[in-house]
A and B are shown apart, each in its own frame.
Chain A
């Protein structure tokens, strides 16, 4: 992947150095993706157990929902078959968008290694996002695809056959990653302001898993709560893409779902920039 991107812009003309300079930095950002990918691959046991855990999670949720449905026709607009697919798809999507950027950032801040990050001519948050993407790509290729294959053998999961659904889903999945990582970055940066942000991180994790619709689809929440969740960013992580992929949202509705994701991505940039700026001012490197 990186080889084509890092190819040196040979024979630099007058305008050359500037351009190749920017190209090099871009190459560096792509390298962060590649290196994280390779690092993940190096921890083999984690990898195999990951496939198992994701398949188990789908299984547990599948049987739970099967019991809840019993003989019933539909719940919150989901048929039993749709629910099965929804569960499988949302766990698989989670494999891609999930990362520990919040923990990584707050560790950097708390042990003071953030100092090293600030002596380099790059943007720290962007580098973290790239590393998160490397992790996401690893999970997507090495966990999600094999995990999904196993899940399809074991449970009656129905995936759409049209190419457009897939293209739409993958695009939305990328935005799920962006929004979830933005929330993680915000959570991580909070370590600048509170001495111990362990509680904040745990709260974030529960909120994202619950309010994104991973555990229970949002349409099953009480009316007032789903109204509230509709104006929060979490539904854009799991529930909305999942609804599209299971065929509950179709046609032009798909565009509005994508639009909601794009809007949340843009909105969440603002607090990150504000927090990063404020953090720079009050940065206090631990350990002298």
Chain B
């Protein structure tokens, strides 16, 4: 069954135009001018139950607008949305019982009261029976190590502490679908990885479907089997993370450290029949760029016996680079014949 079904979804905002100068300001007083901005342009995707899907894109690409339509906050301009069997904006109060939402930039806890009081209030708001609540709370508190924080007022928590509490708040009613809008924003590396571990466990143990927007691609690598990439309101990639790497990762870089000075022409000669490119870092160091369709071991075989090598490092293209180059080109469709031509451009990213 699909947890989320989206078809031809579109959202258009009316934005006020401010005319220039004093004259313009006076004109605005009497007659406003509006321009239409389409934040999400007829997108289409489905997410099966139990999947963790990453939803990425540059600022202003339409990620948050999509999440807000999926969670029933915004009413779509056109198209259809179905989440957990509900049309979110039509049956909002019943629908939100079934989902959990975390906005990394906004708190859903009450600022002035203690953490545990916020949880108690949410228990009543979501109508969770006392026993279920106790069990769930104990589980979450232990898993996220919140024991010492429960009696503190929310305003006295650090960002990392608060974010862990936000997760509990979003999960107390045991939602089947969890929406996370930049959940790791501003957190340190320890808390980030704690939260990632936690989400992965949640997904595995409870089968929670998770849709996650983020700018931190490590979140994606750690959690998501699937990525949807958005650019200017349109989906430009929807598929596996591995596929994305395969398609866009243009190759592998191998760094060599030599025991004795080794000249670049020498290296090039050894690998003459292979379409690789060498660059020298200094007399004792060089790196080679190997396109994806070649085997790294073939190249190593040619060099290892002949040169005096002290160290070898193999560097995969990381997701950051891939995503950056996709953002720059504005499309994830990469025609096959362009692959070679792209090579130079891609190399520039690596140098």
List the B side residues contacting A281 at CB < 8 Å: 75
Chain B residues with a Cβ closer than 8 Å to the other chain, count: 40
Residue of B whose beta carbon sits closest to that of A36: B112
Given contacts A31-B121, A35-B121, A284-B13, contact A121 B93 (CB under 8 A): yes
Cβ < 8 Å to B, chain A residues 50-107: none
Asked whether any CB of chain A lies closer than 8 Å to the CB of B127, the reply is: yes
Chain B, 16-35, contact with A by CB distance < 8 Å: what is the 0/1 string? 10000000000000000000
The smallest beta-carbon distance between A120 and chain B, in angstroms, is 6
List the B side residues contacting A8 at CB < 8 Å: 129-130
The interface centre, meaning the residue of A31, A38, A119, A287 with most chain B CB atoms within 10 A of its CB, is: A119
List the A side residues contacting B75 at CB < 8 Å: 280-281, 283
Asked whether any CB of chain B lies closer than 8 Å to the CB of A259, the reply is: no
| Cβ-defined contact, B96 with A119, below 8 A | yes
The smallest beta-carbon distance between B100 and chain A, in angstroms, is 9
A283 to B113, CA, bound (A): 29
| Cβ-defined contact, B127 with A123, below 8 A | no
A121 to B74, CA, bound (A): 15
Chain A, 107-126, contact with B by CB distance < 8 Å: what is the 0/1 string? 00000110110111111000
List the A side residues contacting B59 at CB < 8 Å: 288
| Cβ-defined contact, B106 with A116, below 8 A | yes
| Cβ-defined contact, A118 with B72, below 8 A | yes
Given contacts A24-B127, A31-B121, A31-B124, contact A116 B72 (CB under 8 A): no
The interface centre, meaning the residue of B99, B128, B130 with most chain A CB atoms within 10 A of its CB, is: B130
Which of B60, B103, B117, B120 has a CB less than 8 Å from the CB of A115? B103
Given contacts A8-B130, A35-B113, A118-B92, contact A288 B64 (CB under 8 A): yes
| Cβ-defined contact, A39 with B113, below 8 A | yes
List the A side residues contacting B129 at CB < 8 Å: 8, 12, 17, 20
Asked whether any CB of chain A lies closer than 8 Å to the CB of B248, the reply is: no
| Cβ-defined contact, A35 with B108, below 8 A | no
Residue of B whose beta carbon sits closest to that of A195: B16
Cβ < 8 Å to B, chain A residues 19-40: 20-22, 24-25, 27-28, 31-32, 35, 38-39
Given contacts A8-B130, A115-B106, contact A39 B112 (CB under 8 A): yes
List the B side residues contacting A20 at CB < 8 Å: 127, 129
Asked whether any CB of chain B lies closer than 8 Å to the CB of A42, the reply is: yes
Given contacts A35-B117, A116-B103, A119-B108, contact A285 B123 (CB under 8 A): no
Given contacts A8-B129, A17-B129, A285-B68, contact A121 B124 (CB under 8 A): no
List the A side residues contacting B124 at CB < 8 Å: 6, 24-25, 27-28, 31
List the A side residues contacting B121 at CB < 8 Å: 28, 31-32, 35
A112 to B74, CA, bound (A): 12
Residue of A whose beta carbon sits closest to that of B126: A121
| Cβ-defined contact, B106 with A113, below 8 A | yes
Which of B89, B107, B112, B125 has a CB less than 8 Å from the CB of A25? B125
| Cβ-defined contact, A283 with B125, below 8 A | no
Asked whether any CB of chain A lies closer than 8 Å to the CB of B110, the reply is: yes
A228 to B93, CA, bound (A): 41
List the B side residues contacting A6 at CB < 8 Å: 124
Chain A, 251-288, contact with B by CB distance < 8 Å: what is the 0/1 string? 00000000000000000000000000000111111011
| Cβ-defined contact, B125 with A115, below 8 A | no
Residue of A whose beta carbon sits closest to that of B120: A31
List the A side residues contacting B103 at CB < 8 Å: 115-116
A288 to B215, CA, bound (A): 14
List the A side residues contacting B92 at CB < 8 Å: 118
| Cβ-defined contact, B106 with A21, below 8 A | no
The smallest beta-carbon distance between B118 and chain A, in angstroms, is 9
| Cβ-defined contact, A283 with B117, below 8 A | no
List the A side residues contacting B123 at CB < 8 Å: 24
Asked whether any CB of chain A lies closer than 8 Å to the CB of B71, the reply is: yes
| Cβ-defined contact, B125 with A119, below 8 A | no
List the B side residues contacting A31 at CB < 8 Å: 120-121, 124
| Cβ-defined contact, B73 with A285, below 8 A | yes
List the A side residues contacting B105 at CB < 8 Å: 287
5 A-B contact pairs sorted by A residue (CB < 8 Å):
A115-B68, A115-B103, A118-B73, A121-B125, A283-B73
Among all A-B residue pairs, the 8 with the closest Cβ atoms? A28-B124, A21-B127, A8-B130, A118-B73, A24-B127, A28-B125, A119-B101, A24-B124
4 further contact pairs, Cβ within 8 A, besides A32-B121, A118-B72, A288-B64: A22-B127, A24-B124, A122-B125, A284-B13
Residues on A lying within 8 angstroms of B by beta carbon are 6, 8, 12, 17, 20-22, 24-25, 27-28, 31-32, 35, 38-39, 42, 112-113, 115-116, 118-123, 195, 280-285, 287-288
Residues on B lying within 8 angstroms of A by beta carbon are 13-14, 16, 59-60, 64-65, 68, 71-75, 89, 92-94, 96-97, 99, 101, 103, 105-108, 110, 112-113, 117, 120-121, 123-130
